[in-house]
Amino acid sequence: MSRADELQGFLSGVPIVETLGMRCEIKGDDMTAVLPFQDKLIGNFTIKALHGGAIGTFLEMTAMAQLFLEADVERPPRTINITVDYLRQGRAEDLFARATVIKMGRRMASVRAEAWQAERNKPVAALLGHFLLRREDPA
């Protein structure tokens, strides 16, 4: 089984990933998460803007996917806290994201993720999150 298949199996255990229609593509050492546009993701139909909750959830799942690739975890990490900065309007088109693990300890990890649409250097939103990797120390 490829690492991409393992990652998709890992994410399939999280129901919101299926609801969003999110997928991850791995090329070499880089993982890019993709949120294909769907009408149900629109939060403001007047300006056809993506819902902030969908963007934030997508970034959180992207961070968890990156942690799966870099940490030895069997189940999704538990979110301690996240901060999402909304930088631009998310338009009615596909959204892409990448995450970087800033610091990983035995029990906790800090991750930064950015989402963009047409141009990667113009992010739509950015996330800083802290995740619990293990609930208790191994005996």
Backbone angles phi, psi at 64, to 5 degrees: -65, -40
Whether the Cβ atoms of residue 23 and residue 8 lie closer than 8 Å to each other? yes
| Share of residues in the chain with pLDDT > 70 (%) | 96
Q: Which two tokens stand for residue 25?
A: 């593509």
User: CA torsion sign, 121 to 122 to 127 to 128?
Assistant: positive
For residue 4, what pLDDT is reported? 76
pLDDT digits (tens, 9 = 90+) for 79-124: 999 999 999 999 999 999 999 999 999 899 999 999 999 999 999 9
Q: How confident is the model at residue 29 (pLDDT cuts 50, 70, 90)?
A: confident
Read off the pTM. Answer: 0.90
CA dihedral of 28, 9, 98, 133, whole degrees rounded to 10 = -110
pLDDT of residue 74: 74
Could you confirm whether domain 3-132 is CATH 3.40.50.620? no
Q: Are 111 and 120 in contact (CB under 8 A)?
A: no
> What is the pLDDT of the chain when averaged over all its residues?
91
Specify whether the CB–CB gap between 122 and 60 falls below 8 A: no
End-to-end CA distance of the chain: 30
